[in-house]
Amino acid sequence: NAGVTQTPKFRILKIGQSMTLQCTQDMNHNYMYWYRQDPGMGLKLIYYSVGAGITDKGEVPNGYNVSRSTTEDFPLRLELAAPSQTSVYFCASSFLQLAREGEKLFFGSGTQLSVL
């Protein structure tokens, strides 16, 4: 199994450009998440999904959009890139709600995004 596959690994955008970060998982997980990691800070939740067709905002959703048309895929869209969106982005998934013993988060390898 590939686990959580996230692309691209690196990207440089100009202010105002748009892009989509791709995320796919092959573990049949219901829950998927997008986090951003800024230097010296803890991971922050951008958006999450509890199943195909269901998405909701996390702690820092402004400037981003998501969709979940299938169980496997959870792309993150940046519409008008701003320097404040320079960060490392991680996609993650879990089978259930991370509230029971043994539950684990599975992470993609991350995308380093710079907006100049």
Partner 1 sequence: KNEVEQSPQNLTAQEGEFITINCSYSVGISALHWLQQHPGGGIVSLFMLSSGKKKHGRLIATINIQEKHSSLHITASHPRDSAVYICAVRYSGGGADGLTFGKGTHLIIQP
The verdict on 41 binding partner 1 (CB under 8 A) reads yes
How many CB atoms within 10 Å of residue 40? 5
Q: Counting contacts by CB under 8 A, is residue 20 touching partner 1?
A: no
112 part of the interface to partner 1, by CB under 8 A: yes
Q: Which is nearer to partner 1, 80 or 98 (CB)?
A: 98
DSSP character string of 59-112: S--TTEEE--SSSSB--EEESS--GGG-EEEEEEEESS-S-STT---EE---EE
Question: In this structure, what token pair is assigned to residue 22?
Answer: 């791709």
45 touches partner 1 by CB under 8 A: yes
Residues 49-88 that bind partner 1 (CB under 8 A): 50, 56, 58, 88
CB of 26 to partner 1, least distance (A): 17
Binding site for partner 1 (CB under 8 A): 31, 33, 40-45, 48, 50, 56, 58, 88, 90, 92, 94, 97-107, 109-110, 112
